């Protein structure tokens, strides 16, 4: 994709979960990972997205600009995986900054090497998903390698880039105390993490798998009990990390 045209699944207005304030959220198409708990299998393939220009997205975003500004929000680029289309995403973030909007990038960090310094300069906040600490468990969960995500996190810290770390809590898959402790210890070593969001697993996206004729890998897994969520949040908090 060029810097002016990208593959986009959809866009929406969101509050509270995609960065501070009310956000104009662009969901890109395409992702190199296949997380067992993915709630958006309809964003896996770039070919399934709509070809959309940066100009069109900026025009749409400008319609909500005043509302977004008053609500203390901005633009968030999510996915799929936005860094699969770095030129397009970089241009979109740059145009949003030119409008004076706060910008956020929601990423697994798996393709962090594709994020240029210019792209990150136009990014005010990175929402970074760290799915597991143990390399073997990370691969079983996602099909990918955790090392690029950790390297990207260190780079963001060195650049002074604000981060919200996100961790999806899945009973029997990501709740191992030692694994959580590994993530918490690593995240606490980063200088720019503002908070850790512990996100309880849910099955709201199960219907999408059915519509696509795909089995939902974790259909048998229950949502985490409050005591488990509390324990994991306490582990992060024990390292001095603000948690939600």
- Residue 215 has a pLDDT of 96
Cis peptide before 173 (omega within 30 of 0): no
Least Cα distance to 41 among 52, 57, 54, 27 occurs for: 27
The rounded mean pLDDT for the chain is: 96
- Residue 129 has a pLDDT of 98
* Contact call for residues 45 and 9 (beta carbons, < 8 A): no
- Residue 30 has a pLDDT of 98
pLDDT tens digits, 103-157: 999 999 999 999 999 999 999 999 999 999 999 999 999 999 999 999 999 999 9
Domain boundaries, the chain: 5-237
3-state secondary structure at position 183: helix
* Contact call for residues 244 and 209 (beta carbons, < 8 A): no
pLDDT at 16 over 80: no
Retrieve residue 68's tokens. Answer: 């977004």
- Residue 171 has a pLDDT of 98
Instruction: Find the mean pLDDT for residues 178-191.
Output: 98
Task: Report the topology of domain 5-237.
Answer: TIM Barrel (3.20.20)
- Residue 15 has a pLDDT of 84
pLDDT at 6 over 60: yes
* Contact call for residues 110 and 75 (beta carbons, < 8 A): no
116 CB-near residues (< 8 Å, 6+ apart) = 86, 90
d(CA 74, CA 162): 15
Q: What is the pTM of this model?
A: 0.96
The b-or-e profile of 64-99 (16+ CB within 10 A means b, else e) is bbeebbeeebbbbbbbbbbbbbbbbbbbbbbbbbee
pLDDT tens digits, 52-104: 999 999 999 999 999 999 999 999 999 999 999 999 999 999 999 999 999 99
pLDDT at 1 over 70: no
% of the chain surpassing 70 pLDDT = 99
Q: How many residues comprise the chain?
A: 244
d(CA 15, CA 25): 10
- Residue 2 has a pLDDT of 55
Retrieve residue 148's tokens. Answer: 């690029």
* Contact call for residues 18 and 25 (beta carbons, < 8 A): yes
Instruction: Find the mean pLDDT for residues 3-16.
Output: 91
96 CB-near residues (< 8 Å, 6+ apart) = 58, 61, 74, 75, 103, 122
d(CA 163, CA 160): 9
Q: What is the pLDDT confidence band of residue 36, given thresholds at 50, 70 and 90? A: very high
């Amino acid at each position: 994709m060029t810097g002016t045209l990208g593959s986009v699944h959809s866009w929406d207005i969101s509050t509270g979960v995609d960065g501070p304030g009310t956000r104009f959220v662009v969901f890109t198409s395409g992702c190199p990972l296949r997380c067992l708990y993915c709630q958006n299998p309809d964003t896996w393939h770039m070919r399934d997205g709509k070809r959309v220009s940066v100009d069109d997205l900026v025009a749409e975003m400008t319609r909500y600009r005043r509302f977004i500004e008053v609500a203390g929000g901005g633009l968030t680029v999510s996915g799929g995986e936005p860094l699969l289309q770095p030129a397009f995403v970089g241009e979109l973030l740059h145009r949003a900054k030119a409008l004076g909007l706060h910008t956020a990038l929601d990423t697994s960090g798996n393709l962090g090497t594709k994020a240029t310094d210019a792209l990150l300069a136009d990014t005010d906040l990175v929402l970074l998903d760290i799915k597991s600490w143990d390399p073997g468990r990370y691969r079983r969960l996602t099909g990918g390698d955790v090392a690029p995500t950790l390297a990207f996190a260190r780079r963001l810290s060195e650049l002074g880039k604000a981060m919200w770390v996100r961790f999806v809590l899945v009973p029997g898959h990501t709740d191992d105390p030692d694994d959580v402790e590994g993530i918490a210890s690593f995240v606490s070593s980063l200088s720019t993490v503002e908070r850790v969001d512990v996100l309880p697993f849910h099955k709201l996206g199960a219907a999408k798998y059915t519509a696509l004729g795909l089995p939902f890998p974790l259909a048998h897994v229950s949502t985490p009990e409050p005591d488990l969520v509390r324990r994991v949040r306490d582990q992060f908090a024990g390292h001095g990390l603000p948690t939600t």
